[in-house]
Amino acid sequence: MCIQVFPPNRSCAEINLPASKSISNRALILNALSYSPYIVENLSDCDDTCVMVRALESNDTCFDIHAAGTAMRFMTAFLSKIVGEWVLTGSERMKQRPIKLLVDALCSLGAKIEYLEEEGFPPLKIYGSVLEGGKLSLNGNVSSQYISALLMVAPYMRKGLELHLTGNIISKPYIHMTLQLMKAYGVDAQWQGNVIIIQPGEYRPIPFKVEADWSAASYWYEIAALLPGSEFDLDGLRKNSVQGDSKIAEYFFSLGISTQYTNSGVKIKYNGNMSRKMVCDLTDQPDLAQTLVVTCALKGIPFRFSGLQSLKIKETDRIEALKNELKKLGYLITDINDSILEWSGERCEAESVPIIETYDDHRMAMAFAPVSITRGSIIIRNPKVVNKSYPSYWKDIESAGFKIKDI
Encoded amino acid at 128, one letter: G
**What structural domains and CATH numbers belong to the chain?**
2-17+214-406 (3.65.10.10), 21-198 (3.65.10.10)
- The whole-number pLDDT of residue 173 equals 87
**DSSP conformation letters of 58-107:** ---SEEE-TT-HHHHHHHHHHHHTSSEEEEEE--TTGGGS--HHHHHHHH
- The whole-number pLDDT of residue 315 equals 66
List, for residues 68-82, the tens digit of each pLDDT value. 889 999 999 999 999
Order across the sheet with 334-336: list the strands. 278-281, 303-306, 340-343, 334-336
Cβ-contact 126, 152 below 8 angstroms: no
Question: What is the 8-class DSSP label of residue 238?
Answer: -
- The whole-number pLDDT of residue 401 equals 97
List, for residues 358-377, the tens digit of each pLDDT value. 999 999 999 999 999 999 99
pLDDT tens for the chain, 407 residues long, are: 999 999 998 889 999 999 999 999 999 999 999 999 999 999 998 888 999 999 999 999 999 999 888 999 999 999 999 999 999 999 998 999 999 999 999 999 999 999 999 999 999 999 999 999 999 999 998 888 999 999 999 999 999 999 999 998 877 889 999 999 999 999 999 999 999 999 999 999 999 999 999 999 999 999 999 999 999 999 999 999 999 999 999 999 999 999 999 999 999 999 989 999 999 999 889 899 999 999 999 999 999 999 988 777 666 789 999 999 999 999 999 999 989 999 999 999 999 999 999 999 999 999 999 999 999 999 999 999 999 889 999 999 999 999 999 99
Question: What is the 8-class DSSP label of residue 108?
Answer: H
233, 245, 287, 361: the active-site residue:
287
At 204 the three-state DSSP class reads coil
Q: Measured between alpha carbons, how far is residue 25 from residues 56, 65, 149, 293 in Å?
A: 11, 13, 11, 27
360 is annotated as an active-site residue: no
User: What gap in Å lies between CA 239 and CA 296, rounded to an integer?
Assistant: 25
User: What gap in Å lies between CA 75 and CA 289, rounded to an integer?
Assistant: 27
Cβ-contact 146, 109 below 8 angstroms: no
- The whole-number pLDDT of residue 164 equals 98
